[in-house]
A and B are shown apart, each in its own frame.
Chain A
């Protein structure tokens, strides 16, 4: 997930936190690890049953898409919208709620790809008879073309997995000057072969990313393609006025028989953008007239949560799937006092995660985290409790650890949080204070947050931030957050504990070289626990994506692979005649 995505996520997070200012630290209810989420419609529930075909689904949004060009689309909810409605990729995720949503199914391809040469070569064969919105055939060359486009400096912002894994990609700058990548081969119109410079067992996961959607060279208009991507999915763009409205209508050339995932229930999908968040919430709570057939784009605002939870009929329309992003207190392991394992462990033990959850909006929209990676990256979709620390912490044990580190009198340090996470910062401050760790809080504007904490020389000892995986694999999490070789003095991102441990890095390389995906996943899960034992971070919380849908909406659930955003492959209406025209 790129920085911008994280900024957006933090912005949402901050609004949640702001709403709870003043409540942080309060409302403790013991240390039971299995707290029940007060929102019933999560974890496998579909709201509204099976939809009927037809009608107009309205999406009420407070923002425009960052990018819809498949070479540039790298923001979770936008990727969901793009790949579920407008363009198909080689492989995609099942349209299922809960943990099943992270299982792969072939999309344009006939299967999940065939590895050879020790997972350094991946071959995909396209289904026969696939066409674009004008009826022309989708070819393997068009997928290669879009992969090449993603290297173009005129089309920045997209996923960089192709750049990181394809052989001979160094210095390549896109197809604009007639130069092509030799490492992507298309022996015929239905076969595409990717040659990588290192083994990548999880290549099928990367093949779900919009980089691996087809773009016909004839339709390519460079940066302007962002405004009118050519459809290979069930809908095509009828009109798109940036930051105002996008209208999708059926792509009559899309063949449902070739697609096991997309149901395409509504006839039209209209996204109205630039609305105020509180107005969206009010309209969806009331759900009157055509708003009954509406869904929100962004999360419920914190001040609206109580209005929703207090009414049973409204609460029944609330989705709150996990965003699969974990947030943690990251400690500067490169200098005193946090270069001492005991001191870092003291922070882990002192931290009150219940207070953090309360400060972040309560258990309806937040869960306490007990590992570095989110639950979606663990077998069974649940984080293990590796450290076995009570949710509200254990200040006495923390004091003991500090004493062992020779800091019996406690210590003083500073913590940087985004201004949106101020309430969470205060909860951390209070909980560490119980063990004698005196924390001075530094709040930074969200727009400057990543630059501030990325300056490794001048930053504070502690920072509160997180990471979201691009797909359900440790590959997109642990190396970004804990590989010491990626640390930059300035503009550092991901590894904010500046953790550089030879054994861990060696193990990461071993896992990356594994050709068996299942074996690799198990190894990442074990490594997560081994890293936590070395205490570069203290797990904090995981946010949920709270979405309130209208009364006429059916087939709605948050999809685990897109940060809990609504799965646009299956959402539709109960009674299409009640929707707007």
Chain B
């Protein structure tokens, strides 16, 4: 188990380094010039050079990348003299657009994205799994058909459409909910939830539909396994058979996609956050893309990659817990 974990962690580090290298190269070989963007109108060549030097853009690409990677582990100082910028471990660079360290920006935005992702995940798991399991247990009945047609319909609605519909129906038409405005959980849990309900719903509708279809298939398959027949033959109550034997085994594929989905969402739901004006990592990323804020783009990409890779690893480890047949 420990050997397995060690090997996997090494793999994770390799993947992240590769992603960092590729992202770094893509953004730093593009023709856009962050120094020129910062300098403004009628920028003299002399001033442009000074800014470029301050940003460290005059160094060769490999040197910039090496500095970036070392900075993650040891922190680094950018510039010299009175205005030198200190960027402590884990340093992901400095955003000249936001005048802040990228890491601090991410830490600041993460609670918003995490609130959005976790709340939506709870909603879609409850909705999706109950719909999927119900449909599987009543396979080929009217309930099954209605649920699955509903799921196909919901899955084909893009999130921006659902969002606009929800905003119109629940805010503008009926005034049931406020325009979402992020309130930290720690300052007012009730207001946190009521403000996030709409974005949760918007995200959950899409995912719940996919999970309903996925879990229905997995459940039908696992309920047809011989050990289910054995369990039934032993005279176990139906509830035990379904939940402990059927659902548990059927959850393995669902867990796989759940890990990826949640990991991806933790690093920001770009469209949902932008539509509802939530200051999460997704909106930070969108803003960075439009303003060409390369350090932030690189930082968010790495964060997203880390979440997905780590979630993947966690899921693999969880297999052993969920499915007794898996051992490491």
Instruction: Report A's interface with B, CB cutoff 8 A.
Output: 1-4, 64, 67, 69, 74, 152-158, 160, 163, 171, 173, 175-177, 220, 222-224, 226-227, 241-244, 272-276, 279, 282-283, 447, 480, 486, 491, 493-494
Q: Which segment, of B38-46, B137-145, B236-244, B245-253, faces chain A? A: B38-46
Shortest C-beta distance, B249 to chain A (Å), equals 44
Q: Which segment, of B96-104, B147-155, B257-265, faces chain A? A: B96-104
Q: A157: nearest residue on chain B (CB-CB)?
A: B40
Considering only residues 80-113 of chain B, those with a C-beta below 8 Å from chain A are 81-85, 94, 96, 98-100, 105, 108
A157 and B38 form a contact (CB under 8 A): yes
Q: A217: nearest residue on chain B (CB-CB)?
A: B82
Q: Which of the residues A152, A224, A227, A274 comes within 8 Å of B279, measured between beta carbons?
A: A274
Q: Which of the residues A158, A171, A282 comes within 8 Å of B46, measured between beta carbons?
A: A171
Please classify the interface of chain B as helix (H, G, I), strand (E, B), loop, or mixed, using the class held by over half of its residues: helix
Q: How many Å lie between the Cα of A173 and that of B54 in the bound state? A: 11
A242 and B105 form a contact (CB under 8 A): yes
A242-B105, A282-B172 as given contacts; A160 in contact with B41, CB under 8 Å: yes
In the complex, besides A176-B83, A224-B85, 4 extra interface pairs with C-beta distance below 8 angstroms are: A154-B54, A160-B41, A244-B279, A275-B179
> Taking the complex as formed, is B79 at the interface, i.e. its CB lies under 8 A from any CB of chain A?
yes
Please classify the interface of chain A as helix (H, G, I), strand (E, B), loop, or mixed, using the class held by over half of its residues: loop
Q: How many Å lie between the Cα of A216 and that of B42 in the bound state? A: 28
Q: B178: nearest residue on chain A (CB-CB)?
A: A289
Q: List 8 A-B contacts (CB under 8 A).
A: A64-B98, A157-B39, A158-B40, A220-B82, A222-B85, A224-B85, A242-B105, A279-B277
> Taking the complex as formed, is B51 at the interface, i.e. its CB lies under 8 A from any CB of chain A?
yes
Q: How many Å lie between the Cα of A276 and that of B164 in the bound state? A: 12
A2 and B41 form a contact (CB under 8 A): yes
What residues of A have a CB within 8 angstroms of the CB of B41 in the complex? 1-3, 74, 160, 493
What residues of B have a CB within 8 angstroms of the CB of A493 in the complex? 41-42
> Taking the complex as formed, is B287 at the interface, i.e. its CB lies under 8 A from any CB of chain A?
yes
Q: How many Å lie between the Cα of A24 and that of B324 in the bound state? A: 69
A156 and B47 form a contact (CB under 8 A): yes
B279 and A160 form a contact (CB under 8 A): no
A276 and B108 form a contact (CB under 8 A): no
Enumerate the 8 nearest inter-chain pairs by beta-carbon distance, A residue then B residue, closest first: A222-B83, A153-B50, A2-B41, A2-B40, A226-B99, A244-B279, A275-B277, A156-B38
Q: How many Å lie between the Cα of A225 and that of B44 in the bound state? A: 24
Shortest C-beta distance, A163 to chain B (Å), equals 8
What residues of A have a CB within 8 angstroms of the CB of B193 in the complex? none
What residues of A have a CB within 8 angstroms of the CB of B38 in the complex? 156-157
Q: How many Å lie between the Cα of A153 and that of B108 in the bound state? A: 28
A154 and B79 form a contact (CB under 8 A): yes
Q: A282: nearest residue on chain B (CB-CB)?
A: B172
Considering only residues 280-300 of chain B, those with a C-beta below 8 Å from chain A are 283-284, 287, 290, 292
Shortest C-beta distance, B199 to chain A (Å), equals 12
Q: How many Å lie between the Cα of A447 and that of B41 in the bound state? A: 15
Please encode chain B, from 146 to 187, with 1 for each CB lying within 8 Å of some chain A CB and 0 for all others: 000000000000000000000100001000000101100000
B96 and A223 form a contact (CB under 8 A): yes
Shortest C-beta distance, A155 to chain B (Å), equals 8
Interface size for B (C-beta < 8 A) is 44
Q: How many Å lie between the Cα of A154 and that of B85 in the bound state? A: 10
> Taking the complex as formed, is B37 at the interface, i.e. its CB lies under 8 A from any CB of chain A?
yes
What residues of B have a CB within 8 angstroms of the CB of A3 in the complex? 40-41
What residues of B have a CB within 8 angstroms of the CB of A4 in the complex? 37, 40
A274 and B99 form a contact (CB under 8 A): no
B83 and A223 form a contact (CB under 8 A): yes
Shortest C-beta distance, A243 to chain B (Å), equals 6
Q: How many Å lie between the Cα of A4 and that of B41 in the bound state? A: 8
A153 and B54 form a contact (CB under 8 A): yes
Shortest C-beta distance, B254 to chain A (Å), equals 34
What residues of B have a CB within 8 angstroms of the CB of A74 in the complex? 40-41
Shortest C-beta distance, A509 to chain B (Å), equals 18
Shortest C-beta distance, A580 to chain B (Å), equals 11
Q: Which of the residues B36, B50, B84 comes within 8 Å of A173, measured between beta carbons?
A: B50
Q: How many Å lie between the Cα of A175 and that of B37 in the bound state? A: 23
Q: Which of the residues B94, B98, B275, B277 comes within 8 Å of A242, measured between beta carbons?
A: B98
A153 and B47 form a contact (CB under 8 A): yes
> Taking the complex as formed, is B53 at the interface, i.e. its CB lies under 8 A from any CB of chain A?
yes
> Taking the complex as formed, is B274 at the interface, i.e. its CB lies under 8 A from any CB of chain A?
yes
A2-B40, A176-B82 as given contacts; A241 in contact with B108, CB under 8 Å: yes
Q: B42: nearest residue on chain A (CB-CB)?
A: A160
Q: B274: nearest residue on chain A (CB-CB)?
A: A276
B275 and A152 form a contact (CB under 8 A): no
A223-B85, A243-B279 as given contacts; A156 in contact with B39, CB under 8 Å: yes
Shortest C-beta distance, A490 to chain B (Å), equals 11
What residues of B have a CB within 8 angstroms of the CB of A244 in the complex? 182, 279
What residues of B have a CB within 8 angstroms of the CB of A64 in the complex? 98, 287
Q: B275: nearest residue on chain A (CB-CB)?
A: A276
What residues of B have a CB within 8 angstroms of the CB of A283 in the complex? 179
Q: B38: nearest residue on chain A (CB-CB)?
A: A156
Shortest C-beta distance, B163 to chain A (Å), equals 10
A243 and B283 form a contact (CB under 8 A): yes
What residues of A have a CB within 8 angstroms of the CB of B278 in the complex? 274
Residue among A74, A176, A274, A275 with most chain B CB within 10 A: A274
Q: How many Å lie between the Cα of A156 and that of B79 in the bound state? A: 14
A153-B51, A154-B79, A275-B277 as given contacts; A242 in contact with B40, CB under 8 Å: no
A152 and B172 form a contact (CB under 8 A): no
Q: B50: nearest residue on chain A (CB-CB)?
A: A153
A243 and B284 form a contact (CB under 8 A): yes
Shortest C-beta distance, A402 to chain B (Å), equals 36
